[in-house]
Amino acid sequence: GENVEQHPSTLSVQEGDSAVIKCTYSDSASNYFPWYKQELGKGSQLIIDIRSNVGEKKDQRIAVTLNKTAKHFSLHITETQPEDSAVYFCAASYAGGGNKLTFGTGTQLKVEL
């Protein structure tokens, strides 16, 4: 089955700096890679996703890059703000197989003033 590894487990940045979270996956059949932001009391919110036919996707301050050959993908947050503080999870799935997600272990991001 699929295995997703995520690093780092904690990340502390100064407000305005950039944050990068990296994930690797094992199953070459995986073709969908979402990122979720998890906050206490708010559940998990999809912040960006990418499919395997695209190498990069950007949405305002958030971007995701995918390297299929190396089986890794990364989340980039620029101009971080205190409200970006949360736990971020990467995930991978094979869209043709029910799209069940395999998650990484999460990154606790703290944006300090």
Partner 1 sequence: DTGVSQDPRHKITKRGQNVTFRCDPISEHNRLYWYRQTLGQGPEFLTYFQNEAQLEKSRLLSDRFSAERPKGSFSTLEIQRTEQGDSAMYLCASSLIDRGLEAFFGQGTRLTVV
Name the residue among 39, 49, 22, 43 with its Cα closest to residue 110.
39
- Taking the C-alpha atoms of residue 97 and residue 63, their distance in angstroms, rounded to an integer, is 26
91 binds partner 1 (CB under 8 A): yes
- Taking the C-alpha atoms of residue 35 and residue 11, their distance in angstroms, rounded to an integer, is 16
Choice from 11, 20, 32, 72 touching partner 1 (CB under 8 A)? 32
Q: Between 51 and 61, whose beta carbon lies closer to partner 1?
A: 51
98 binds partner 1 (CB under 8 A): yes
Which residue ranges make up the site for partner 1 (CB under 8 A)? Answer: 4, 6, 32, 34, 36, 41-46, 49, 51, 89, 91, 93, 95, 98-106
